């Protein structure tokens, strides 16, 4: 993919198979961003 759309933009493709893959890519990106932003908590005492 040349560029990724913002999460709020509409799905560009009309083909259902391509729509599904576009949605899977967006979900994978959101999960990765969430994982990067989540702090790891370690118990000290």
Structure token pair of residue 2: 């040349």
pLDDT bucket at 5, cuts 50 / 70 / 90: low
pLDDT of residue 38: 81
| All structural domains of the chain with their residue ranges | 1-44
Task: Quickly tell me which residue has 């893959």 as its tokens.
Answer: 21
Whether residue 27 is predicted with pLDDT greater than 60 in this model: the reply is yes
pLDDT of residue 4: 55
Q: How far apart are the first and last CA of the chain?
A: 48
- pTM of the predicted model, to two decimals? 0.58
Whether residue 30 is predicted with pLDDT greater than 80 in this model: the reply is yes
Is residue 19 within 8 Å of residue 11, measured between CB atoms? yes
């Amino acid at each position: 993919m040349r560029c990724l759309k913002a999460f709020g933009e509409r799905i560009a493709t009309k083909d259902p198979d391509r729509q599904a893959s576009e949605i899977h890519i967006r979900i994978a990106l959101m999960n990765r961003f969430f994982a990067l932003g989540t702090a790891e908590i370690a118990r000290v005492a």
